[in-house]
Chain A
Amino acid sequence: MRKRRYERNHTAISQEENRILAGKKACVAGCGGLGGGVIEGLVRTGVGTVVAVDGDVFDETNLNRQVFSNEENMGKSKAEEAAVQSRLINSEVEVIAVNSFIDEKNVREIIADSDVAVDALDNAEARKMLEAACEEAGIPLVHGAVAGWNGQVSVIIPGQRMIEALYEGESVGGDENDTGNPYFTPAVISALEVAEAIKLLLGKESSLEGKLLTVDLMNHQYEIIDFGE
């Protein structure tokens, strides 16, 4: 055990809070641009167990932004690579790789016993499944999404159904099909998701519960939209 590992967490995160985090479990759905950043953040912060979920493998187009991708691991499982590299960062954290896409059959088992779930997915259909399963299991969900210079973050307490509101109708994708995904937007949004997940794990109040933070990095516009009743 490295005694000074969390020294720079303190006092933003106290020693006692770090001990609490060591007993917590977070499920990260998606290990791409957002998920890589989220997993790295949770692992470095010291969340005890992180479940890394993704059925995809790395390819060349991931190298611009996905932190666990490199020139040596093309074609390898994103979830397994996230776990392998996370162990090098923090061996005190257990990272469980789930090399599968989220679907109706597996989602409940994947999120089971988690204290928080983090949405780092890239499509509305899987997000809706995740939100419904989290609601059923009573697990809070941190939502994040990116497209070009824009991104968004939300904290969804079971029952709020924000994903349903955000992605009404058919799943046809969003702006990202036209704008692409450069490095800096998932870097910012994944860090915000980590901050919200840590707050939830520590029982701290989040000002994003039932609200959507929209981030426009080109124009530096940061707005909070209330999705409450």
Chain B
Amino acid sequence: MKVTITLRGTLRKYFGEDKERVYDVPEGCTCDEALKIAGLDYKKIKNFGFVSINNKRVMIYDKLQEGDLLKAFSKVSGG
């Protein structure tokens, strides 16, 4: 199934100039697994914040569905 991934904050650097990328991922693929396919291991990114599917915040191990828009945000905590 196809999902679109887009990155925010300092995570953008992982996609270079691309605003978003479309990936073919297995059925039942989680956000974590999809990000790994896209080259991001959230556990190794110190400023990794949270993920959303279709603009609703979800857990990293939640499953994606065909056509979903997965966004990954970096952590913002300055004042």
Tell me the A residues contacting B by CB distance below 8 Å. Answer: 30, 32-35, 120-124, 127, 144-148, 150-152, 165-168, 172-179, 181, 186, 212, 214, 216, 221, 223-228
Contact = CB atoms under 8 A, between A and B. Distances in A.
State the 3 A-B residue pairs at the shortest beta-carbon distance, nearest first.
A176-B78, A122-B79, A174-B75
B47 A181 contact: no
A172 B46 contact: yes
B58 to A, nearest CB: 10
B49 A166 contact: yes
13 contacts: A33-B78, A35-B79, A145-B78, A145-B79, A147-B9, A147-B10, A150-B74, A168-B50, A174-B49, A175-B9, A214-B73, A221-B8, A225-B71
B8 A216 contact: yes
B75 A175 contact: yes
Given A147-B9, A174-B47, A123 B56 contact: no
The DSSP consensus for interface residues of chain A is mixed
B20 to A, nearest CB: 12
Interface residues of B, number: 19
Interface of B: 8-10, 46-47, 49-50, 52, 55-57, 71, 73-79
Given A121-B79, A145-B79, A174 B57 contact: no
A30 B77 contact: no
B65 to A, nearest CB: 17
Nearest to A221: B8
B56 A165 contact: no
Contact of A152 (B10, B47, B76): B76
B10 A30 contact: no
B8 A150 contact: yes
A145 B77 contact: yes
A223 B50 CA distance: 14
Contacts of A227: 57
Contacts of B73: 214, 225
A146 B47 CA distance: 13
A176 B77 contact: yes
A172 B55 CA distance: 25
Contacts of A123: 77
Contact of B78 (A147, A221, A223, A224): A147
B76 A150 contact: yes
A216 B74 CA distance: 12
Given A166-B50, A175-B9, A225-B52, A147 B57 contact: no
